[in-house]
Amino acid sequence: MTADLFDDLPAQPSSEAIADGAVVLRQFASTQAEALLAAINRVNASAPLRHMQTPGGHTMSVAMSCCGELGWVTDARGYRYQSTDPHTGEPWPTMPDSFRELAGDAAQAAGYRDFRPDACLINRYEPGAKMGLHQDKDESDFDQPIVSVSLGLPQVFQFGGLKRSDRPVKIPLAHGDVVVWGGAARLRYHGVLTLKNGSHPLTGACRYNLTFRRAR
């Protein structure tokens, strides 16, 4: 009887530690979500989302683009950061101020001061897309955290250990959730399970993930 009084309230921000150095800031980005999605669309108008090739010759199921001074790319030559978009030959689009501020604020809320990302990777998952367990280790300074923002459909995040064989824990990530990790967690294996069908009012049938890094 009383529960329905609260049904229309947005989920409240809260924070959950998931490991030493890693925290989920539930709903940290939800009030800015529409502005973030508009900025994603502006970036993607000049640096289109594309399915990159792994060094092993596989096509990634997630579509990617980047903004900021550096972008992360993968092709037959390997994984790396570079200042130009291989698709256009142009510098990556500037990182929107709203992105920089959100990333810095989330890092601060998680206990990492002065986080100034120089790279933002934009991932778009459509139903059936996933990302296998991997480490983020192409950056030069592992003392810098990573900030990860989820928008649109929910997707299950897998958070493992420092060895690929360590059994991961499953963490559902919803629209507006932000994960921050660094310190002892910085090189943990992680990935996302296959995106299920669905429709989100702001993104339709997809999930976007923004990851902010200090690459250099």
Whole-number Å distance between alpha carbons of 21 and 186: 8
DSSP state of 108: H
Whole-number Å distance between alpha carbons of 215 and 98: 19
Among 39, 40, 107, 131, binds ligand MD6 (CB under 6 A): 131
CB of 2 to ligand MD6, least distance (A): 36
Check residue 179 for interaction with ligand MD6 (CB under 6 A): yes
Q: SS3 of 110, please?
A: coil
Q: Contact region for Fe ion (CB under 5 A) — 52-60, 67-75, 135-143, 178-186? A: 135-143
Choose among 114, 92, 107, 80: nearest CA to 21: 107
Give whichever of 44 and 158 is closer to Fe ion, judged by the CB atom.
158
Site for Fe ion in 96-115 (CB under 5 A): none
By a kind-dependent CB cut-off of 5 to 8 A, residue 44 interacts, out of Fe ion, ligand MD6, none, with: none
How many residues in the shown chain lie near ligand MD6 by CB under 6 A? 11
Whole-number Å distance between alpha carbons of 166 and 162: 7
Check residue 136 for interaction with ligand MD6 (CB under 6 A): yes
Give whichever of 136 and 139 is closer to Fe ion, judged by the CB atom.
136
Single-letter code of the amino acid located at 106: A
Among 85, 118, 136, 139, binds Fe ion (CB under 5 A): 136
DSSP code per residue over 168-193: PEEEEE-TT-EEEE-GGGTT--EEEP
Residues at the site binding ligand MD6, with contacts judged by CB under 6 A: 123, 131, 136, 146, 148, 157, 179, 190, 192, 209, 211
